[in-house]
């Protein structure tokens, strides 16, 4: 296995001069050198061939002992110096100070086919940023990260990738619901891959300490290596950078809303500077369409990170990034201009995204009302988001409201909910929808294909991940492999996987791991 090693981050940014691995405040440094803890008996559960190929690892390499040892943290690849990032952040709306990679260790950067990647082990042991925690990760959260990161990629959602999922062979103690019931679980290690793991919180770190020398160094580094197309110098350059982060973040959120993904912990330390989804913790997928839903029990009181609030929170987080970059720009006006445009821009793009989901090519003013009335209706009684949008593409131009309803009726969780008034409102809406698709030039089959390309048939429903975790805990990885294969083609019909195109079963409605998750991982 031959990797093309790059050490841009560590050669150009300041290292923590202290190399003792104890929890502490780290000043004037972008990272600390730290070695992964040797796992006692590592074994490979699953690897993503596509991610491997992207970074220059062949299918044969995946079978080598070298692969197992390097990506479990057992051995260190030659000429690399693993490091943990120092960053800060706002958690649940409050300033939290220094956070940092508490259970993540960056192995190295690599270059393959002119692209730069950072390889990072998650769950490979304590770092100076572990605070009171142990630096490890458990199998359940590692499966959730590995499967979901890859599923998101195949859905076309910008995301970190996941190269591998390994068991460490060690036991990790966790109190899953923070209710005084700690138990041992299997330890696991995922190797995440992204251009870099620089976050909004990386900039907040230096800004909060008024360390403007390092703030500038980090901004210059990030732009030079990851936004090389940004021209100009000084204020212009930083503004262009902020503008681009705003744009890519907006796009990422639009994708989340399109597929029904709820991140669950949109703290500023979990916001990638690349506008990619990062840190798969207590995330979840909408089953019944509910803008007020969050899977994260830690957030159950205020539901700050609920589905419908994600665009708002992205903007809030961008404000924090703007504050952090302000010392480099020293003029609030242009930053405010960019931030002020976010909501209108989002509304516009959201409308177009929903038009795509509904199969409209022509843009009509009146679509706003049609879409608003649809989202209200979807919330009225429990309606499965994925099944609704997928099946809506079966409606034809010739359908009457009643026959159109037949196409979508599988999406409702309880037939009893469909009383006369609810049915009437659905028929009214479908009648308007029918008129609307008759204004389109596309043939039914063309519209169906177009809709099916943006409305996935298969997503990683919370209960599916949980079933897979239950099996994996017993050493059976067949479901994990099956789901991984299925999620590679989320928009394809895949009749052999039809059984996964189904509503959440009743047993999963209020089960821990399925609809309720905590930050414990
Ligand atoms: P998260 O909410 O998962 O993004 O984590 C917030 C902060 O807590 C980050 O600095 C993490 O690195 C840290 N953290 C979370 N879990 C652990 C753990 N098991 N060991 C050490 N640090 C952790
Ligand atoms: Mg995090």
Instruction: Render pLDDT for 182-226 as a digit per residue (tens, 0 to 9).
Output: 999 999 999 999 999 999 999 999 999 999 999 999 999 999 999
Q: Is the pLDDT of residue 2 over 70?
A: yes
Ramachandran angles phi, psi of 415, nearest 5°:
-60, -35
Give the bridge partners for 43, in sequence order.
167
Pocket test for ligand 1, best of 102, 200, 265 (most atoms within 8 A of CB): 102
Q: Quick one: 455 exposed, middle or buried, by C-beta within 10 A (0-12, 13-18, 19+)?
A: buried
**Is the shortest distance between the CB of 23 and ligand 1 below 6 Å?**
no
Are the C-beta atoms of residues 516 and 510 closer than 8 Å to each other?
yes
**Is the shortest distance between the CB of 281 and ligand 1 below 6 Å?**
yes
State the Cα torsion 256-261-264-270 to the nearest 10°.
-40
- 275 Rama sector, left if φ>0, alpha if ψ -120 to 50, beta otherwise: left
For residue 136, the ligand 1 atom closest to its alpha carbon is 19
Mean pLDDT calculated for residue range 361-389: 98
Mean pLDDT calculated for residue range 358-378: 98
Mean pLDDT calculated for residue range 461-472: 96
- 508 Rama sector, left if φ>0, alpha if ψ -120 to 50, beta otherwise: alpha
- Measured in whole angstroms, the distance separating CA 286 from the mean position of its chain's CA atoms is 14
Pocket test for ligand 1, best of 124, 133, 142, 187 (most atoms within 8 A of CB): 133
pLDDT digits (tens, 9 = 90+) for 34-76: 999 999 999 999 999 999 999 999 999 999 999 999 999 999 9
- Three-state DSSP state, 95: strand
The C-alpha atoms of residue 519 and residue 269 are separated, in whole angstroms, by 14
475 pLDDT band, cuts 50/70/90, is very high
pLDDT digits (tens, 9 = 90+) for 250-264: 999 999 999 999 999
User: Which residue of the set 101, 170, 269, 299 is catalytic?
Assistant: 269
**CB contact set of 378 (below 8 Å; sequence gap of 6+):** 289, 385, 388
Are the C-beta atoms of residues 30 and 86 closer than 8 Å to each other?
yes
Are the C-beta atoms of residues 109 and 81 closer than 8 Å to each other?
no
Q: What's the pTM?
A: 0.98
**Is the shortest distance between the CB of 265 and ligand 1 below 6 Å?**
yes
For 48-78, what is the HEC assignment? Answer: CHHHHHHCCCCCCHHHCHHHHHHCCCCCCCC
The number of residues in the chain equals 521
Q: What DSSP character marks residue 500? A: G
241 pLDDT band, cuts 50/70/90, is very high
**Is the shortest distance between the CB of 169 and ligand 1 below 6 Å?**
no
Are the C-beta atoms of residues 401 and 431 closer than 8 Å to each other?
yes
The C-alpha atoms of residue 216 and residue 321 are separated, in whole angstroms, by 14
**Is the shortest distance between the CB of 89 and ligand 1 below 6 Å?**
no
What's the pLDDT score for residue 291?
98
**Is the shortest distance between the CB of 282 and ligand 1 below 6 Å?**
no
Average pLDDT, the chain: 97
The C-alpha atoms of residue 10 and residue 7 are separated, in whole angstroms, by 6
Ligand found nearest the CA of 104: 1
103 is in an annotated binding site: yes
DSSP string, 273-331: TTS-B---SS-EE-SB--TT--SBGGGTTT-TT-GGGHHHHHHHHHHHHHHHHHHHH--
The C-alpha atoms of residue 371 and residue 359 are separated, in whole angstroms, by 12
Pocket test for ligand 1, best of 93, 105, 130, 517 (most atoms within 8 A of CB): 130
* Centre of ligand 1 from the C-alpha of residue 189, in Å: 14
Is 331 among the residues known to form the active site? no
What's the pLDDT score for residue 394?
98
**CB contact set of 329 (below 8 Å; sequence gap of 6+):** 235, 238, 239, 242, 335
What's the pLDDT score for residue 521?
63
**CB contact set of 280 (below 8 Å; sequence gap of 6+):** 141, 144, 145, 148, 149
pLDDT digits (tens, 9 = 90+) for 417-446: 999 999 999 999 999 999 999 999 999 999
What's the pLDDT score for residue 305?
98
What's the pLDDT score for residue 510?
81
Ligand found nearest the CA of 100: 1
Nearest residue (CA) to ligand 1, atom 13: 102
**Is the shortest distance between the CB of 135 and ligand 1 below 6 Å?**
yes
Are the C-beta atoms of residues 83 and 261 closer than 8 Å to each other?
no
pLDDT digits (tens, 9 = 90+) for 147-175: 999 999 999 999 999 999 999 999 999 98
* Centre of ligand 2 from the C-alpha of residue 275, in Å: 15
515 pLDDT band, cuts 50/70/90, is confident
258 is in an annotated binding site: no
What's the pLDDT score for residue 494?
98
Q: Quick one: 161 exposed, middle or buried, by C-beta within 10 A (0-12, 13-18, 19+)?
A: buried
What's the pLDDT score for residue 339?
98
* Centre of ligand 1 from the C-alpha of residue 11, in Å: 26
Ligand found nearest the CA of 133: 1
What's the pLDDT score for residue 150?
98
Ligand found nearest the CA of 298: 1
**Is the shortest distance between the CB of 283 and ligand 1 below 6 Å?**
no
- Looking from the CA of 47 toward its CB, the CA atoms found within 13 Å total 21
């Amino acid at each position: 296995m031959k990797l093309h090693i790059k050490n841009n981050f560590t050669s150009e940014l300041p290292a923590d001069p202290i190399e003792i691995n104890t929890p502490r405040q780290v000043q004037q440094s972008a990272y600390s050198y730290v070695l992964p803890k040797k796992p006692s008996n590592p074994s490979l559960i699953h690897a993503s061939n596509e991610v491997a190929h992207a970074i220059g690892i062949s299918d044969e390499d995946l079978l080598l002992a070298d692969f197992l040892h390097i990506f479990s943290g057992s051995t260190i690849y030659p000429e690399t110096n693993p490091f943990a990032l120092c960053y800060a952040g706002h958690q649940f709306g409050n300033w939290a100070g220094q956070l940092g990679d508490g259970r993540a260790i960056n192995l190295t950067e690599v270059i393959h086919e002119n692209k730069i990647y950072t390889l990072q082990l998650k769950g490979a042991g304590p770092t100076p940023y572990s605070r009171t925690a142990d630096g490890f990760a458990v199998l359940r959260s590692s499966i959730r990260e590995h499967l979901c990161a890859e599923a998101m990629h195949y859905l076309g959602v910008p995301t970190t990738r996941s190269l591998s999922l390994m068991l460490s062979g060690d036991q990790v103690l966790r109190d899953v619901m923070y209710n005084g019931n700690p138990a041992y679980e299997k330890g696991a290690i995922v190797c995440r891959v992204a251009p870099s793991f620089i976050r909004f919180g990386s900039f907040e770190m230096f800004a909060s300490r008024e360390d403007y020398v390092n703030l500038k160094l980090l901004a210059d580094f990030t732009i030079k290596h990851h936004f090389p197309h940004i021209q100009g110098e000084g204020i212009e350059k930083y503004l262009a950078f902020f503008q681009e982060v705003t744009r890519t973040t907006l796009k990422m959120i639009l994708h989340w809303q399109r597929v029904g993904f709820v991140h669950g912990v949109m703290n500023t330390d979990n916001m990638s500077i690349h506008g990619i989804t990062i840190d798969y913790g207590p995330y979840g997928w909408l089953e019944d369409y509910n803008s007020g839903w969050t899977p994260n029990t830690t957030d159950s009181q205020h539901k700050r990170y609920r589905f419908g609030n994600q665009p708002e929170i992205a903007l809030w987080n961008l404000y924090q990034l703007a504050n952090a970059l302000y010392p480099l720009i020293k003029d609030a006006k242009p930053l405010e201009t960019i931030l002020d445009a976010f909501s209108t821009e989002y509304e516009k793009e959201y409308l177009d995204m929903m038009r795509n989901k509904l199969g409209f090519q022509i843009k009509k003013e009146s679509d706003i009302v049609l879409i608003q009335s649809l989202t209200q209706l979807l919330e009225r009684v429990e309606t499965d988001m994925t099944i609704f949008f997928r099946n809506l593409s079966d409606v034809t131009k010739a359908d009457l409201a009643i026959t159109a309803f037949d196409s979508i009726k599988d999406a409702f969780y309880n037939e009893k909910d469909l009383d006369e008034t609810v049915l009437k409102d659905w028929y009214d809406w479908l009648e308007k929808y029918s008129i609307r698709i008759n204004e389109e030039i596309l043939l039914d089959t063309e519209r169906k294909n177009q809709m099916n390309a943006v409305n996935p048939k298969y997503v990683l429903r919370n209960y599916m991940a949980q079933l897979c975790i239950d099996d994996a805990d017993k050493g059976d990885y067949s479901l994990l492999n099956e789901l991984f294969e299925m999620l590679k083609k989320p928009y394809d019909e895949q009749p052999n996987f039809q059984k996964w195109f189904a509503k959440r079963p009743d047993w999963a409605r209020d089960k821990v791991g399925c609809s309720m998750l905590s930050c414990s991982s």
